[in-house]
Each structure stands twice: as structure tokens, then as C-alpha cells.
């Protein structure tokens, strides 16, 4: 795989260890002992999604999103909760692919996407 090509896919619950370095970067090393359980629970639930951006270099980014009921919108909405991208890849636009995939999935499920 060309290092410049990035593949975006949904994370599996067993991929916690792979994601931990980027989560440590995101949370400034403040990932507590219960975070593995939280990650696995979040990845398995219908209300959450974790997207991974990978290149031949390895994991280069994570997008964490969630789906919610919203009475004001009379239905379900989606929200990006966190995005973390390796510093070397930040200006390459790779996170935009994950962002687009998340919003396309939201539209497929007939939800209104909310950008934050």
C-alpha cells in the first residue's frame, strides 16, 4: 500500500492496543485503567462508531462519533466526539476522508449530521 493512500474503516472491539498511542496523544497521557472497557463498549454499541485511518505506515488517525436521539430534530442526530491524527499527517487532509465517511453513514441511517 502506498504510504500516501489512506484507508478508512470501522474499528473492531479487539483493536484497543492499536489505538492506545493515539488516544494517549489525544488525552495527554491521561487514559485511565477503565479506558479499554470504555473503548470496547463504545465500539460495540449501535450508538457509537470509531473510524480508523490507516496507511502503510500504520494507524494515522481516529474519529470517534456518536448517534443520539434529538427531540428538537425529531429523530436521530450524529456528532463527532473526537478526532486525532498523527502530527505528520495532519496537513494532508486524511481526516477529511473519515469525516466524510462518518457523515455518509449518518445520511444512510437518515440522521442529521451535526458538525462540532
CATH topology of domain 7-114: Aminopeptidase (3.40.630)
The pLDDT score that the predictor gives to residue 14 is 93
SS3 readout for the chain: CCCCCCEEEECCHHHHHHHHHHHHHHCCCCCCCCHHHHHHHHHHCCCEEEEEEEECCEEEEEEEEEEEEEHHHCEEEEEEEEEEECHHHHHHCHHHHHHHHHHHHHHHCCCEEECC
The pLDDT score that the predictor gives to residue 1 is 42
Q: Which residues of the chain have pLDDT under 50?
A: 1-2, 113-116
pTM, rounded to two decimals? 0.76
The pLDDT score that the predictor gives to residue 115 is 47
The pLDDT score that the predictor gives to residue 61 is 87
The pLDDT score that the predictor gives to residue 105 is 65
The residue ranges of every structural domain in the chain are 7-114
Amino acid at each position: 500500500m502506498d504510504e500516501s493512500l489512506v484507508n478508512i474503516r470501522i474499528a473492531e472491539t479487539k483493536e484497543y492496543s492499536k489505538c492506545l498511542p493515539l488516544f494517549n496523544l489525544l488525552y495527554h497521557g491521561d487514559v485511565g485503567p477503565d479506558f479499554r472497557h470504555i473503548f470496547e463498549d463504545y465500539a460495540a454499541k449501535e450508538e457509537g462508531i470509531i473510524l480508523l485511518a490507516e496507511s502503510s505506515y500504520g494507524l494515522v488517525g481516529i474519529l470517534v462519533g456518536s448517534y443520539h436521539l434529538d427531540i428538537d430534530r425529531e429523530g436521530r442526530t450524529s456528532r463527532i466526539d473526537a478526532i486525532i491524527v498523527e502530527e505528520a499527517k495532519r496537513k494532508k487532509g486524511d481526516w477529511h476522508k473519515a469525516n466524510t465517511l462518518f457523515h455518509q453513514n449518518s445520511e444512510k441511517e437518515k440522521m442529521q449530521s451535526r458538525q462540532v
